[in-house]
Structure 1
Amino acid sequence: MQSSVISTSFQEEADRQENMLRPKMLKDFQGQQRLKDNLAVFVKAARERKEPLDHTFLIGPPGLGKTTLATIIANEMESEIRMTSAPALDKPKDLAGILTNVTEGSVFFIDEIHRLKPALEEMLYIAMEDFEIDWVIGQGPAARTMRIPLPKFTLVGATTKAGSVSSPLSSRFGITCHIDFYTEEELSSIISRSAKIMNVAIDEEAVMLLAKCSRGTPRIANRLLRRLRDFATVMADGNVTPKVVAFGMDRLGIDSNGLETQDRNILRTIIEFYDGGPVGAETLSISVGEAIESLEDFYEPYLIQKGYLKRTPRGRMTTKKAYELLGLPCKRNMDDNQGILF
């Protein structure tokens, strides 16, 4: 029992620190300039009309700020927000309970909306369009349907897999925001802001080095900053210098491109076990001991973006760049433009 209480308090502290670093308004949100500019227009127009913001669809890999943007939308609209995730909604009554308790103009955020069950998705259709839900009263021949009116609200759905969201649901969102990986300059601004909030002294050069190792993802940048703060506290004078960054990244198994040990393990497995590919995602996930969801959502997007991996109709394939990264001889001819072996 005691260990459970301790672990819970640690988790609460971690959540508190994470929330402390989250920007609260659009002006504090770093990067994604075009998205921010468009959202600012949509929010201002909705407020001037005294209407809820149109339903908003947030698409992007994990850690890029979808939950943060949902909170910012609520703050900019000066409304409350209710948050849940699709896996937590098991039965229609779960969704109905939330929808019947939303307030006028509030924001209802559903994370991982691509995992919503079909019955709940169909309930959302009417709620999004007509601000009503159908509810069945009674059973058998005496059963009847009652329409329950809802306050006008804004649904914000977030997903890492836009292709898994059904067309009828995605078409009901009036605003679609694609969140891209962040540039090193944008991550540098995020790291500098987080360091000030956390009261961490960090050199400008160290900020740039850390940005290069953060996989274009603010969540990873903030996580690495906390770990470097630990190394600086214990092994240095508390200041995060380029030397501390180099030492910390080496200890964490992260190279200057942001690739972790598992990233290199994935590439090495494809090359050594499957002759560079193609290999299916399920086979690869078993080979490297990684859940297929983690493989597809976390590792592959960055490896593909950096040019080490390609997805083809036949499976995953490494590129010539992957051989060079690992220092392995490429014994087969390879078309760099297509990633297809001859």
Structure 2
Amino acid sequence: MRESSWKASDDIPLSEFMRMLGAVFVLVFVLLFGEILFRWLIEPANTLLPLQLIEAWLWTHLSNIFWPGSAELVAHETGPMTQVNLLHPTFYSGIVPLYVSDECTGLHELFFLAMMMLLTPSFDIKTKLKHLGIASIIVFILNLIRLVVLYPLAVSGCEGMNGGTFGCESPLFEFHNFVLEYGSLIVLVIGWTIWFNITGARNDVRNFWKRLPQFNGITCNPSLDDLNSNTVRATGVYFSIGMLILSVISYFSKALGDTSSVDECANIISASCTRIVTEYEDSLGVSIRLFLISLVIFSLSWLRPKLTWQNEEE
């Protein structure tokens, strides 16, 4: 019988294997939790209104640069200027109204990519934030390209005999749905893989797995002695405190303000009452989410959690 070259010393101890397996499950759980958290954060309409306004404005102007008269920016039924109407004589009624929602801003994709990069055990946080800043620009540009190409896709579906028929712009929605369901994830995984290989993160991850058995837990340093000398920490603390105050003021100004129209619509079923109640609940929801986000930023800036290892020099 052929002698095996595998040695017992090459086997991974069960305790180390379980620790590695646990680390993988933790990473997967954090990614899933982050996805659920983001969905909850954008549940109220126009949660990301500043980004929505910017995206809608840029989309309209870029579309009109490439195809003059192809788009117009109008107010959505919720109030803000976040509706882009695509215009062409071959469209059904000559118009395809599209709403720039929270999901259209590209922040969902950037949030997921940020989670993947931050959870990758390589580099320090400052380097990761620098890389993430570059990635955010790339994601923003790709998202704008995705929006701009919707117009020629809609026009292509309404050519010839299909012109003026209801639903002829279906290629637009087919592409949009594909990007939402699969395309964004494919691009993000490819982007993360490129980042992982060209930045040398692979070596750091390999060293992390070797070092994992010496993981000793997470420690916090709540001392504020170096607050003024640590620019990043000071910015996080002061910014979060300001946002906490702003969110509390915003919440109570709406909750304690004039709610007579909301009260009158409490037991009435109609389109106008549904809109009034929804807008009121969304405004409170945005304030609550802003408060919780600010609280998390403040906690991280104040406590400064850090991974500790056995035999680590103090």
The TM-score with structure 2 as length reference comes to: 0.26
Q: Which has the higher contact order (CA 8 A, sep 6+)?
A: 2
Greater helix proportion: 2
Bigger radius of gyration among the two: 2
Greater strand proportion: 1
